[in-house]
Amino acid sequence: MKSKDRVLTAFGHAIPDRVPINYLYNPAIDARLKDHFGLNQNDDEALRQRLGVDFRAIDAPYIGQKLYQDLPGITVDNFGRHRRWVQHDWGGYWDYCTWPLQNADIETVANWKLPNPDDFDYSAIAHLSRQYKDYCVVVGHPGVGDIINSIGMLRTMEQVLVDLMLDEPAGLLLIDRCTNLWLQIMERILEAGKGAVDLFWMGEDLGTQRGPTISLNLYRKHIRPRHQKFIDLAKSYNLPVMIHSCGSSSWAFNDFIEMGVSVVDTLQPEAQDMAPAFLKKSYGAKLAFHGMISTAGELAFGTVDQVRKIVQSTLEIMMPGGGYALAPTHEIQDNSPTENVLAMYETAMQEGWYR
């Protein structure tokens, strides 16, 4: 099968030739993998081909003016979010370090500069979707539609949770301004790629390792109605929707099904009620799955043999009946040994075939 057909067959709960494969990464491990294969550091496509990746994500780059000036030691993006680069033993990470709207009132939020949907290059969408026509073309990412994390980057996660619980006008206004912006951007992207896009990706981190971040009632009051707008948009273009959620999130899966979500992404197996066998048995008839290979488990801290075993075990549970794409839980972290990551993809290519 071509990659596009493989993914759509699997996500349609039918049997493809093999399990689809995806690759999500942090910069240092990506660089090490390219070094391993002798590739140019800019050659993303060659690496994906070496790993057997069936997905290709496309986006409309921002081409407008920079809206906020950087501060000493702090990079400020076009949403006004403050980040600093924190070096560690394996690479580094962008850390959100100050929160400019933490105590903002409704007037400040109303006047906060956000990007203009006109300031993105949507012309690239048609070109890229044609370039990757044999692959599963994905638009969106885990930040699309995301409320708790994304708004927390401006307001702190604690304040966002308070906003949701207390119906705080300033917080809800910021949520709606960002939500409406992403809806406009994604509609423009979908129209530009009409007929050539295969999957719509959005997100919301709903769980900790131990359980839900918020109650089901609060989710239904504030988050579900806003997420439904993105799902409805994708459905108007006849696209399946994949939603990203870290941590323990299966408590929301029945709502996902009602809303029209087709695929759930991340699936951290160490979190409460997220074990592969539980998810497959409980939700496998109505949801497809993308992820499940923990970046906080064997991939980072185990041996090559342990990585091979966990990949084999996951495939044995998740493959029957289709409905699964192998991928890391979130991005592969920089502390993952190169040989472990190679073992993950080699095992998937060896053991992921339907016979």
Assign 107 to helix, strand or coil: helix
Helical residues (DSSP H) of 193-270, grouped into ranges: 216-218, 224-236, 253-259
Q: What pLDDT band is residue 252 in, cutting at 50, 70 and 90?
A: very high
Strands 324-328 and 288-293: parallel
* Mean pLDDT (whole number) for 308-324: 98
Give the up-direction half-sphere exposure of residue 335: CA atoms within 13 A in the CB hemisphere.
13
Q: What is the mean pLDDT of residues 279-284?
A: 98
The Cα 184–Cα 155 span in angstroms is 23
Apex 195 CA angle, 191 and 199, nearest 5:
85
Q: Which residue has the tokens 């000036």?
A: 69
Residues 107-135: b if buried by 16+ CB within 10 A, e if exposed: eebeebeebebeebebebbeebbeebeeb
- The overall average pLDDT reported for the chain is 97
Mean pLDDT over residues 197-222, rounded? 97
Domains along the sequence of the chain with CATH: 3-64+101-351 (3.20.20.210)
pLDDT at 184: 98
d(CA 238, CA 194): 10
Confidence band of 129 (pLDDT split at 50, 70, 90): very high
* Nearest CA among 345, 332, 247 for reference residue 295: 332
pTM value surpassing 0.95: yes
Q: What is the mean pLDDT of residues 314-335?
A: 97
pLDDT digits 0-9 by tens, 42-56 = 999 999 999 999 999
Phi-psi region of 14 (alpha: psi -120 to 50; beta: other; left: phi over 0): beta
Closest-CA residue to 266 (of 345, 355, 331, 170): 331
Chain mean position to CA 353? 25
- pLDDT level of residue 141 (50, 70, 90 thresholds): very high
Spatial distance between the Cα atoms of 296 and 330, rounded to a whole number of angstroms: 10
